[in-house]
């Protein structure tokens, strides 16, 4: 069942599975891409946001007079000034209420109100309180300094435990306290019984620090109003132009038909641009007031303060197992730091991991519970992996803890527990239907590529000779749920929108093809992948396919890009649209060839009369016929164009095993990664080069999470890591060369058998790295370390293990 798809599998597949170069790259590499900051419009003015320096403070007077007098300033507004511009607060599309899933409850979700500008209280350092509009960016920067805001500082709520105390200051007074919700999944009593009966139980506690997404291009917004028509065009460096259009039309009270949203070339997002932000609403409001085009470009420090953060989760993970190490039950309890407000999907993030705490293992008992709290910090929301890195970290670290407890090699304990291979959807303890998988095959391949046995020998040799540089081998077998998502499942999880996506194929009379997709790539190479799919399905050259995206006027139907959904949902919509094109083209071909439609087959990229191979009609020929409409079959509309909207029947479940090999210097605490092997199973592959790139980027981010990155606040709620000086984003120099490989279990969720890959590396890597470091330090008895594993933390752990001697 396990195979590697490196090259196209059939004669007709010229491009899918093959390594074509990315269509996007010439434009990007030659500086011809159109990023938001390249957009300059006549009469355009700049917007800047005054941000609260306090984490928690009442806002008194906001004096804009000095700013208004500054050269070049066109206007300035306080939060109160703009209050009448909002028809509704900023959106949260995933309101979760306190409940047990799937038991219904009448309790309403507790939703903090989030206005684009605060006027009563600032609730985090960076919360916007006023805006200045000026002719140039420099004028805006100067004038921002001249806005005098009177603050009455309040005690900030910063730590999770403190936020829940009875005497904690309340961040949203109307909610009564700082509790967001408690949501649970699974049978608590049945799971408890398995724990009561277990020979071995494991209980671990993991803190996932906040992470700051660092897209290479910060956010930015340009709005062009057409006052006479009441129309607005908004360019935004966003992952979600479609969602932004709907939600902002509601927040601003602009008819949806009068708002066009364009995502130009977008330089990465990693989930942080899966959001609808205050600055988008502010720019629309200011453009509406002034009747002039406006522009706001985020600075890196603003990015750190006012774009969402990821993670910020405390996990308590428990396993029940037999004395041999066979897991019988898992129980996970989370407390999540949501920050000061809900952003677009903040409350839903833990639910994306909630079903995956059993990992790739066969377990009977399953219980998950998450409590969310508000704090006076930047809101958290989706950051690459969103919920699934936390789940994978918990189960994979706990599996190593179990191996230690039962005295077995971590590889042996995993083998004892893997779900056996399956190629039909299979229900697991959390209630999900995994689509297909062969976890042990992937595991075997990874261990073989890493030379696991050889590494264990070298590790022993180093230990025996008393080497100060110890070798550690870390394993991480992950599963993720992506391809978000079946709309009915989203409804059950209280998500506010559907999970479908759409594609249109337009076959032009000259033979060229336009694909319009509802996905919104920002680095993932959809233009290339989609052209591969369309070219193969329609039998046209790859270069003849243009792919359009990211503009609500051009692709009105779409659900955008996040959750590694684009191929498994949008790509499948495209595949289905191609089948519709072929259905219509077959009728026209049969008519022209004067045979019955059933006598015509589509093979090797063209229609042929069965048994008469030289009677051929190609799609470009038929597109021309459909356009002239001179000789169409009865009841056939002219033109060759089709749209398909695909709502997937299930998620896809990519999986894999990553092996990290580290050397830990016991004298300095420095960790060096010597080898990193990633074997992933993302079903059939459209573009191996893109998949490899996705894995590389994801693993880099996962290693960063394990070794380098952490948002740190001081005791007043000031972000101490507010620039790239202090927030350590690794470069290629800190990262090893990656060994990548794949196994393939085609997904049963879609006709192409594809699963997502966009987040795989970020999900797999952190526990692989941490397990490796703990494995290296096993002889010293170190069993836990806090991420990121800075040299100081590792050195202190070694010192403590040695009884205080370094
Ligand atoms: N692909 C493939 N074969 C597969 C799976 C995927 O050829 N079996 C290709 C697809 O055709 C697509 C790419 O890989 O070109 C990623 O596809 P998919 O897994 O569907 O993920 P999405 O396109 O939906 O991308 C979202 C995902 C997420 S959630 C984050 S976060 C992320 C990521 O992609 N952010 C990124 N990758 C990123 N890459 C870049 N450069 N920048 C980001 O911000």
- Using the atom order of ligand 1, give the atom closest to the CA of residue 523: 41
48 neighbors 84 (Cβ within 8 angstroms): no
DSSP 200-242: EEEEEEEEEEEE----SS--EEEEEEEGGGTEEEEEE--S-HH
Could you tell me which of 706, 709, 703 has the C-alpha nearest to residue 724? Answer: 709
Q: How far is CA 119 from CA 49, 64, 296, in A?
A: 13, 14, 21
The whole-number pLDDT of residue 101 equals 75
Residue with the two structure tokens 């699974």: 186
Residues with CB under 6 A from ligand 1: 215, 268-271, 384, 522-526, 529, 561-568, 571, 682-683, 685-687, 690-691, 694, 697, 754-759
Ligand 1 centre and the CA of 5: distance in Å?
18
Atom 32 of ligand 1 has which residue's CA nearest to it? 270
Q: Which residues contact 395 (CB under 8 A, 6 or more apart)?
A: 317, 330, 356, 357, 358, 359, 361
Three-class DSSP category at 328 = strand
**Average pLDDT of adjacent 10-residue blocks, the chain of 806 residues:** 43 82 96 97 98 98 98 98 98 90 71 97 98 98 98 98 96 96 96 98 98 98 98 98 98 98 98 98 98 98 98 98 98 98 98 98 98 98 98 98 98 98 97 97 98 98 97 98 92 93 98 98 98 97 98 98 98 98 98 95 92 92 98 97 98 98 98 98 98 98 98 98 95 95 98 98 98 98 98 98 80
Burial of residue 555 (number of CB atoms within 10 Å: 0-12, 13-18, 19+): buried
Give the Cβ contact number of residue 732 at 10 Å: 9
- How far apart are the C-alpha atoms of 174 and 374, rounded to whole Å? 13
Could you tell me which of 574, 578, 507 has the C-alpha nearest to residue 544? Answer: 507
Ligand 1 centre and the CA of 758: distance in Å?
4
- How far apart are the C-alpha atoms of 18 and 649, rounded to whole Å? 28
Strands 671-681 and 738-742: parallel
Ligand 1 centre and the CA of 230: distance in Å?
37
- Using the atom order of ligand 1, give the atom closest to the CA of residue 755: 8
For ligand 1, mutation pick of 532, 573, 694 (most atoms within 8 Å of CB) = 694
Ligand 1 centre and the CA of 565: distance in Å?
8
- Using the atom order of ligand 1, give the atom closest to the CA of residue 691: 14
- Using the atom order of ligand 1, give the atom closest to the CA of residue 215: 44
Q: Which residues contact 268 (CB under 8 A, 6 or more apart)?
A: 215, 216, 217, 522, 523
DSSP 362-415: --SEEEEEEEEE--SSPPB---TTTTHHHHHHHHHHHHHHHHHHHT--HHHHHH
Ligand 1 centre and the CA of 782: distance in Å?
37
DSSP 567-604: IIIIIHHHHHHHHHHHHHHHHHHHHHHTS-GGGEEEET
Q: Which residues contact 551 (CB under 8 A, 6 or more apart)?
A: 241, 260, 261, 262, 263
Would you give the end-to-end CA distance of the chain in angstroms? 52
For the question of whether the overall pTM of this predicted structure is more than 0.75, the answer is yes
Phi, psi (rounded to 5 degrees) for 284: -65, -45
The whole-number pLDDT of residue 104 equals 60
Dihedral angle over CA of 141, 147, 148, 151, nearest 10: -80
Calculate helix-pair angle for 439-450, 410-417, nearest 10 degrees.
160
């Amino acid at each position: 069942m396990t195979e590697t798809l490196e090259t196209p599998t059939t004669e007709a597949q010229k491009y899918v599975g093959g390594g074509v170069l990315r269509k996007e790259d010439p434009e990007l590499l030659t500086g011809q891409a159109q990023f938001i900051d390249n957009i300059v419009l006549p009469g355009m003015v700049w917007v800047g946001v005054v941000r609260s320096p306090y984490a928690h403070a009442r806002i008194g007077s906001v004096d804009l007079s000095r700013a208004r007098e500054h050269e070049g300033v066109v206007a300035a507004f306080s939060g109160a000034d703009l209050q009448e511009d909002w028809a509704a607060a900023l959106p949260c599309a995933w309101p979760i209420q306190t409940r047990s899933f799937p038991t219904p409850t009448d309790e309403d979700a507790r939703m903090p109100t989030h206005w684009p500008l605060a006027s009563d209280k600032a609730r985090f350092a960076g919360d916007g309180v006023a805006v200045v509009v000026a002719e140039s960016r420099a004028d805006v920067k100067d004038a921002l300094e001249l806005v005098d805001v009177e603050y009455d500082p309040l005690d900030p709520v910063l730590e999770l435990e403190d936020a829940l105390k009875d005497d904690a200051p309340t961040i949203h007074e109307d909610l009564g306290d700082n509790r967001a919700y408690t949501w649970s999944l699974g049978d608590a009593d049945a799971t408890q019984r398995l724990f009561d009966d277990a020979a071995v139980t494991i209980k671990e506690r993991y803190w996932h620090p906040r992470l700051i997404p660092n897209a290479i291009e910060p956010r930015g917004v340009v709005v062009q109003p057409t006052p006479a028509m009441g129309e607005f065009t908004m360019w935004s460096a966003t992952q979600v132009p479609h969602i932004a259009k709907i939600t902002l039309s509601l927040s601003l009270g602009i008819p949806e038909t009068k708002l066009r949203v364009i995502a130009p070339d977008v330089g990465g997002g990693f989930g942080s641009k899966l959001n609808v932000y205050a600055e988008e609403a502010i720019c629309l409001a200011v453009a509406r007031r002034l009747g002039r085009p406006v522009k706001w470009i985020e600075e890196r420090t603003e990015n750190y303060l006012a774009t969402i953060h990821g993670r910020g989760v405390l996990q308590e993970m428990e396993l029940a197992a037999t004395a041999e190490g066979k897991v019988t039950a898992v129980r996970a309890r989370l407390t999540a730091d949501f920050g000061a407000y809900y952003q677009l999907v903040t409350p839903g993030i833990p639910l994306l991991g909630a079903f995956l705490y059993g990992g790739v293992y066969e377990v009977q008992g399953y219980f998950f519970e998450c409590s969310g709290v508000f704090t006076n910090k930047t809101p958290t929301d989706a950051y690459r992996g969103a919920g699934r890195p936390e789940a994978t970290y918990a189960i994979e670290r706990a599996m190593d803890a179990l191996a230690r407890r039962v005295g077995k090699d971590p590889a042996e304990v995993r083998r004892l527990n893997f779900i056996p291979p399956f190629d039909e959807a299979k229900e697991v303890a959390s209630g999900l239907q995994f689509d297909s998988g062969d976890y042990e095959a992937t595991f075997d391949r990874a261990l073989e590529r890493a030379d696991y046995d050889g590494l264990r020998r070298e590790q022993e040799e180093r230990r025996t000779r008393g080497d100060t540089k110890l070798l550690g081998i870390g394993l991480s077998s992950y599963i993720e749920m992506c391809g978000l998502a079946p709309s009915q499942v989203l409804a059950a999880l209280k998500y506010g929108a559907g999970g479908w996506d759409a594609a249109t194929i337009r076959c032009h009379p000259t033979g060229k093809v336009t694909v319009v997709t509802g996905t919104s790539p920002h680095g993932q190479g959809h233009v290339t992948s989609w052209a591969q799919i369309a070219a193969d399905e329609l039998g046209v050259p790859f270069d003849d396919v243009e792919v359009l995206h990211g503009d609500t006027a051009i692709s009105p139907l779409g659900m955008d890009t996040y959750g590694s959904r684009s191929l498994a949902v949008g790509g499948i919509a495209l595949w289905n649209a191609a089948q519709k094109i072929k259905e219509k083209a077959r009728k026209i071909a049969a008519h022209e060839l004067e045979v019955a439609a059933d006598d015509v087959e589509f093979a090797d990229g063209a229609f042929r009369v069965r048994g008469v191979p030289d009677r051929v009609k190609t799609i470009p020929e038929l597109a021309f016929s459909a356009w002239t409409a001179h000789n169409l079959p009865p009841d056939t509309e002219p033109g060759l164009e089709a749209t398909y909207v695909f709502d997937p029947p299930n998620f896809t479940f990519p999986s894999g095993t990553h092996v990290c090999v580290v050397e830990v210097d016991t004298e300095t605490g420095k960790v060096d990664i010597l080898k990193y092997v990633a074997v992933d199973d993302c079903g059939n592959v459209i573009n191996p080069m893109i998949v490899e790139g996705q894995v590389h980027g994801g693993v880099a981010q996962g290693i960063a999470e394990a070794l380098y990155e952490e948002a740190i606040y001081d005791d007043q709620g000031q972000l101490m890591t507010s620039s790239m000086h202090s927030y350590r984003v690794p470069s290629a120099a800190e990262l090893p060369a990656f060994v990548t490989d794949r196994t393939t279990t085609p997904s049963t969720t879609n006709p192409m058998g594809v699963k997502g890959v966009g987040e795989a590396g970020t999900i797999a890597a952190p526990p692989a790295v941490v397990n490796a470091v703990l494995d290296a330090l096993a002889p010293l008895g170190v069993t836990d370390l806090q991420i990121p594993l800075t040299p100081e933390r590792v050195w202190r752990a070694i010192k403590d293990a040695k009884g205080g001697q370094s």
